[in-house]
Each structure stands twice: as structure tokens, then as C-alpha cells.
Amino acid sequence: MGDEFEGQPGAGPVVGPALRIGDGAARPPGCFADRPLPSGRIVPGRRAFVEGKPPRGASVRAELRHAHIVWTMALFGRSKKPVAVKPAEPEAKQLAPAPAPGPHGARTVEDQRDWICSMIEPLMPFGMNLIDASGLNLCEDLLADGDLPALPEAACDGYAVISVDVRDVDPRTGAVLTITSDVHAEASAVPVLVGHPMPPGADAVVPLDAADVIDGENLLVRCSVEAGANVRQVGSDAADGTVIAKAGTKLDARLLGLIGGAGFDKVLCRPRPRVVVLALREKGQLSQAFEVTARQHRDAASFMVASAARDAGAQVWREESAAQDAAAVAEVVTDQLIRADLLITVGGIERGADGLLAEALTGLGPIDFSTIALRPGPVQGFGLVGADRVPVLMLSSDPASAYTGYEVFGRPAIASLMGAEPERATTQVRLDAPVDGDRSVCEYVPAQVMSTPDGVHALPLTDRPGSLGQIARCDGFLVLGEGSLSAQAGDLVDYVALGGR
């Protein structure tokens, strides 16, 4: 290529080799020449630089590695003396004031959940294809810009007719119509398929099972058919200008079908939150056998949490780390923040603010460890880490504690990112067996439910508290609120369904 002038008159800049003042290499003819633009303006060539006459807006340096770019910038009226403005340093985001302890000395579940969600901002919405929006929450009201359907449609396979020809049919004798391509002739019938527009003039459809074809040309109708029968009228699904979906509605397959039928191919939604679940191994693994056992225990918790986050609509990555010092843990966390809207750590919080995880995260942003009036999983951690202050939720490595902590705090955090309601709906069920409570904490007891003629009944799974088997078999949690001592068989208690079954 050489060092020839990059580009032709009227062309944009082309990145080429650097030009150094003093280069002794020969130059092709015209490389120092001024370049005329189509408008008649003359752009100084390289000779101006070599001779110490820089064009307007360019800078003279001992080494002109990006001269062609600088020259082009002059065409856009760049100031001769650009002033570099240092961007203002963003104010470091701090944790909101922590909630006060409840009546029994620990923060209540509700206060902790509201506190966490108050520091999580919903993601910015953008337009996305309908198939990608499935499971997300709509961020705008959608109005029909025309009637749906726009024309009368057949609601079943059959024959389109004029109702006056078949409204008084005697079932014993029937009525004979002629099968044609239109209904303008008296006593005629036109074959139609479900969803197809009605032939002009037809106002009813005779179902296939209510008629018999005779000789391939005539139709014997065996019952009366009134006007409008088996016809979808104009605007029956959505009238012009009406709201077909409200902001905040979760989009499922059925609603997306209606939206697509109304002519929309994109909708405004918040994207799926990016959630990284990081399993942290602990010190003290003295033997290979112990290491395998402990690892399986932690993996149970992190896999459950990661899967539950995906069920909640998030895009999830699960990672694990065996880092054993604070600097290494901090590096692992920092590496994950680039792709995380929410980071959930599993393990490393048993010692609270005195543990390895707390030491690692302290230098990355404000964090908080506290005791919550919750069983299982009373120790919980939360923070805002990294330059973007990514929310991080810190859970126990115990499977029951981690899963409960995720359901109580993690799922609401994901819902907040999606702009959805942060809490699961609570219903009441009738106990089939007694369950003990503790006045000082809010207990989440796994249970199986069944529907009966007198309502929904629940069987508490309390034979092996905190076991993986109980969590795997349960349909949801019985919620014994703080201050509840116990509940007897036949009592109504609050219940949160986990879904997915």
C-alpha cells in the first residue's frame, strides 16, 4: 500500500500506515497535493504538515500516526483549541438505611425484603420480538389499531349460508341447499374453513356434522341455524382503539397470540435479568472423601438456586470457586460482575461479617450482614459491589436455608429487576396435621397440598427438617408468621405455592 494519501476526493478517511516527519521514502506523485472537495473547498495535503502549516483543527506532533483522522475532523468544524472536559465522578451508591430490629431483636422478613428491593432498579425496557418476550412483563399499554377480526370469520368448518334459508328447518325433513361459490342465489351454501372470512352476504355457518352432501352438488341441512351462528363478528376479539394488553401484564403464549393477531411484531419489555450464581467452597476440607461430600452438599444448594432463578425468568450462569483468600475471592467476584445484573453467592456467610466472603467484598462496595427472624436461613447478606454497584445476595450453603433465602429475598430481587410484583401470592390452606412454630421467627415449612371438596388441604413435611428430600417433594411453603406458636390440624394457615408442578 505504501504511504500514499488514503482515499479519493469525496471519500471518507481510510486507515493506513503512520506518516512520520522525516521519513525518507519516496512518495508517489500528488501525495502532498491539496485535495479539492466536490464543493470546491480545498483540503490541505500532507505538505502543509511537513512545512509546518497544519490545517485548521489539526495538531502538529512529532509523530502523526492518525493524521488522516485529524484532517477529517477539521471538516466538521472542530475547535482549534479543544478543551478536554473531565467527566464528573459518579457518586458512589451506598446502602439504604438498614431496617430496625423487630420485636424479638432481629429484622423481620418483610422489612429485609422491602429494604433489598428498594435498592434494586428495574432494567431499562426496549422493543423485542414477540417470541423473545414470552414470560416477560409488558411495559406499555397495547391498543388495537383496527378491529380484530377485521372481517366476519367462520368459527368452525362447514357451509356459509344466509340464515333466512335455514332458520326454520324441520329436523324430520331438513332443507336442501345448492353448494355454490357464493350465496347470492337463493338457497345456496358455500364451503368454508374455520378462521376464513365469510363470503359476502352470508351471516351463518352450518357445521359439517349438521349437514350431509347429496350427489356432490346439494346439501341437506338437518337443523335450524340462526343469524350469527358459528360466526366470529368484526371486532369480537378486539375492537379498534381498545386495550388488548395492559402494562405490567406477564406475556404468555395465549396473550402473545392475540398481540400477534392484532398486527404487532414487537413489544416493549424489560430484558431477562442476567443472574450469576456463584458457589463458594470453604476451607477445612481435610480429605478427598470429605471434599467430595462437602462439594455435593454445596452443589445441591447452588443448583437449586440457579434453577429457581431461571424459572423466575432470568438468564442464569452458575459458577463455582475454591478460592481460599479474600483477594482471590474478590477477583472471582469481579470477573463475574461484567455479565451480572444480580449476583447470588452460595456459601461463605456462616461467620457473617467476620467471614472470608465479607472480607473479600468489603473492598468492592458497601455490604451488610444481619440476622433475620427467619427459619431456616437466619443469616443473610446483601451488598452493592463493583463500579456499577451490582446487587449481590449472599446465601448459606445449606440447601434448605439457601432455597428459603432465595424464595424470600432472591426471587423478589429478580422480580424488581423485571419491574414485576416482588412477592408471591399467598393463599390459605387447611392443615391435615399439626405443626409447631416459634414466636421469635417466621417459619417456612415445606408442605404438600391437595384439593378436596371442602377446600385445599396441606400436609406439613416435618419428619426430617431441612432435608433435600422434603424440598424435592414439597409443593410450597406453609408460612408461620413471627408471633405464631403452633397450628393444629384443621387450622387455616398462610401458604405460598412454588409452582412448576
pLDDT at 350 (0 to 100): 81
Query: Who's near 431: CB < 8 A, 6+ residues apart?
Result: 457, 458, 460, 478, 487, 488, 489, 490, 491, 492, 493
pTM: 0.73
Q: What is the pLDDT of residues 250-298, one digit of tens each?
A: 999 999 999 999 999 999 999 999 999 999 976 544 334 445 554 544 4
Query: Who's near 352: CB < 8 A, 6+ residues apart?
Result: 358, 369, 379, 381
- What value does the CA radius of gyration of the chain take, rounded to a whole number of Å? 36
Q: What is the mean pLDDT of the chain?
A: 82
Say whether pLDDT at 333 is over 80: yes
Say whether pLDDT at 18 is over 50: no
All domains in the chain, ordered by first residue: 1-84 (no CATH), 126-142+239-269 (3.90.105.10), 153-232 (2.170.190.11), 274-417 (3.40.980.10), 426-497 (2.40.340.10)
The end-to-end CA distance of the chain, in Å, is 67
Say whether pLDDT at 56 is over 60: no
Q: What is the pLDDT of residues 307-328, one digit of tens each?
A: 999 999 999 999 999 888 899 9
Cell numbers for 85: 472536559
Specify the DSSP element, H or E, that contains 206: strand 204-207
Q: What is the pLDDT of residues 219-253, one digit of tens each?
A: 999 999 999 999 999 999 999 999 999 999 999 99
